[in-house]
Structure 1
Amino acid sequence: MFAVWMLFFDSNSLLIHQELNEDVSDLENEKDYYRNEIKKDNKALKELSTEDGIEKMAREKYYMKRENEDIYIIEYEDSLKIKEKNE
């Protein structure tokens, strides 16, 4: 009877410990995810700290251009299919 009480009904039961271990595992996975995101952000900040990095981002992400330049946006066939499905 004591063993059953300790396994299921006690505040330190095996079930509660299992749930807490799952929570700890989830939090550790989340911590790893955010560490990787911080590394990516630090890399992006390092790239943006130079004039070339700023220009590259402006050209690629915001389609900015210099005077007397033309920009051509090439869309591949498979990217067009994705747009059609979403619409």
Structure 2
Amino acid sequence: MKLKLLRNKKNILPLVLFIFVIWVLFFDANSYLYQREHDNEIKKLEKSIEFYQKEIEKNRKTIDDLSIQKNLNNYAREKYHYKKKEEYLYLIEYDTIN
């Protein structure tokens, strides 16, 4: 009788262990799949943070450059084609198709 119970206990332990591993990997609230999804999302967010930090730095540099009135005038003339009174503006466009 005891021998039979011992055999059953030996057979139950691997089964319980297998069920536990499956539960932890797939069904638990903190499962491996769930953690992997969040790790991927964190990586994407870190990349976007890096991108926006570069954009902020670029914009700060532009603001610093435009804080000088002469540079602001040059920027407005080049980008928005502003001109002073009694001044003619000639736009030269190059053919980019070769």
Q: Please classify the TM superposition score into its range, dividing by the shorter chain length.
A: 0.7 to 0.9
Q: Distance in 1 between matches of 2:77 and 2:83?
A: 6
Q: Distance in 2 between matches of 1:16 and 1:76?
A: 54
Structure 2 portions without partners, runs of 5+:
1-18
Q: Which entry has the higher C-alpha Rg, 1 or 2? A: 2
Q: Which position in structure 2 is the counterpart of 1:78?
A: 96
Percent identity between matched residues is 38
**CA deviation after TM superposition for structure 1 residue 76, in Å:** 2.1
Query: What TM-score do the two structures reach when normalised by structure 2?
Result: 0.73
**CA deviation after TM superposition for structure 1 residue 50, in Å:** 0.5
Q: Distance in 2 between matches of 1:41 and 1:47?
A: 10
Q: Which position in structure 2 is the counterpart of 1:64?
A: 82
Q: Which position in structure 1 is the counterpart of 2:48?
A: 30
Q: Which of 25, 30, 34 in structure 2 is aligned with 1:7?
A: 25
**CA deviation after TM superposition for structure 1 residue 61, in Å:** 1.2
What root-mean-square deviation, in Å, do the aligned CA atoms of Structure 1 and Structure 2 show?
A: 1.4
Q: Which position in structure 2 is the counterpart of 1:43?
A: 61
The higher-RCO structure (CA 8 Å, 6+ apart) is: 1
How many residue pairs end up in the alignment?
79
Q: Which of 11, 17, 21 in structure 1 is aligned with 2:35?
A: 17
Q: Distance in 1 between matches of 2:36 and 2:96?
A: 45
